């Protein structure tokens, strides 16, 4: 069951250009959340910006009752959020949406993350590590400075393979190009994907071709966050029929082979 609460900011700092890490005291949400879910965040009490911002859950610490977000400043809402100080209150609603499907304990799995898409994957890999899964992370970013979460993945004993657009770290190229040079993901129980739309589309096609299962975490302009307003529609194929699903309530995570990419 989702909650609405004023969460106290426990920490907030920048980790990369325009990218912020924020810890919020939200024991109930931390207890209920599963990897891939999000919280709907009010960045200010004013009416401009008006809407909440959906932000994926980056990490939870259940013993501490803390929820961590990792977000990029892309507009007025996220800019206001980044200006919060320790001790401030932020109104959040969550956990919302349907998260990733977890594999059997001990499975071999792959994670493909690009840019800020790495944010929800830390929570996922945390859970996978607890399940003694063998994880390979294909991690991409524009450049070395913008690369996110690589240290965290290593700490959780995942194998991390890196690609940057400019080659300033790891392979020079995109995450799908990086994956083409590796074969591990072809033998996994699941490949979890989060990143720019183009990247997710390309990897979904690769997964389909290799006939291996995958899940993608989608994004769309969102209103209510609870499945009422039907703003965040996405086309999904189910039993041969294309229907609208709601990113907020039916997703954000969908089977990679079911998404109809535009």
- The reply on whether position 93 binds another protein by CB under 8 A is yes
Helix ranges (H only) for the chain are 27-32, 76-82, 119-130, 150-155, 175-180, 197-210
- The reply on whether position 184 binds another protein by CB under 8 A is no
Question: Which one of 222, 236, 253, 259 is in contact with another protein (CB under 8 A)?
Answer: 222
- The reply on whether position 90 binds another protein by CB under 8 A is no
Query: Cβ closer to another protein: 58 or 245?
Result: 245
What is each CA distance from 218 to 117, 163, 187, 208, in whole angstroms?
10, 21, 24, 17
State the nearest-atom distance from the C-beta of 74 to another protein, in Å. 12
- Start-to-end Cα distance in the chain: 33
Q: Are 138 and 182 in contact (CB under 8 A)?
A: yes
Query: Cβ closer to another protein: 42 or 58?
Result: 42
Stretch that binds another protein, among 46-54, 61-69, 138-146, 162-170 (CB under 8 A): 46-54
Residue where the block lists tokens 């194929």 = 237
Q: Are 153 and 125 in contact (CB under 8 A)?
A: yes
State the nearest-atom distance from the C-beta of 262 to another protein, in Å. 8
Question: Which one of 199, 203, 232, 253 is in contact with another protein (CB under 8 A)?
Answer: 232
Of 10-39, binders to another protein (CB under 8 A) are none
- The reply on whether position 241 binds another protein by CB under 8 A is no
Query: Cβ closer to another protein: 170 or 225?
Result: 225
Give the contacts of 160 (CB within 8 A, at least 6 positions apart): 136, 137, 139, 150, 153, 154
Query: Cβ closer to another protein: 51 or 129?
Result: 51
What is each CA distance from 187 to 138, 204, 228, in whole angstroms?
15, 15, 39
- The reply on whether position 211 binds another protein by CB under 8 A is no
The residues binding another protein (CB under 8 A) are: 1-2, 4, 42, 47-52, 93, 220-234, 244, 249
């Amino acid at each position: 069951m989702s909650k609405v609460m004023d969460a106290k900011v426990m920490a907030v700092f920048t980790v990369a250009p325009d990218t912020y890490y924020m810890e919020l005291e939200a024991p109930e949400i931390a207890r209920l959340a599963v990897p891939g879910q999000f919280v709907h965040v009010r960045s200010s009490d004013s009416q401009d910006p008006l809407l909440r911002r959906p932000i994926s859950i980056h990490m939870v610490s259940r013993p501490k009752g803390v929820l961590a977000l990792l977000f990029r400043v892309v507009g007025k809402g996220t800019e206001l959020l980044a200006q919060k100080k320790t001790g401030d209150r932020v109104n959040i609603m969550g956990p919302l949406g349907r998260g990733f499907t977890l594999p059997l304990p001990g499975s071999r799995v792959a994670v493909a993350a690009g840019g800020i898409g790495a944010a929800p994957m830390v929570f996922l890999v945390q859970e996978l590590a607890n399940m003694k899964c063998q994880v390979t992370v294909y991690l991409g970013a524009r450049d070395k400075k913008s690369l996110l979460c690589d240290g965290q993945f290593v700490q959780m004993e995942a194998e991390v393979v890196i690609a940057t657009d400019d080659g300033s770290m790891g392979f020079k190229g995109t995450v799908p190009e990086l994956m083409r040079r590796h074969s591990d993901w072809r033998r996994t129980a699941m490949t979890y994907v989060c990143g720019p739309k183009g990247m997710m589309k390309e990897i979904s096609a690769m997964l389909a071709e290799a006939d291996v299962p995958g899940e993608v975490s989608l994004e769309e302009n969102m209103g209510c966050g609870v499945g009422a307003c039907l703003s965040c529609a996405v086309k999904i194929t189910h039993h041969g029929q294309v229907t609208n699903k709601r990113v907020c309530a039916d997703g954000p995570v969908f089977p990679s082979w079911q998404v109809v990419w535009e």
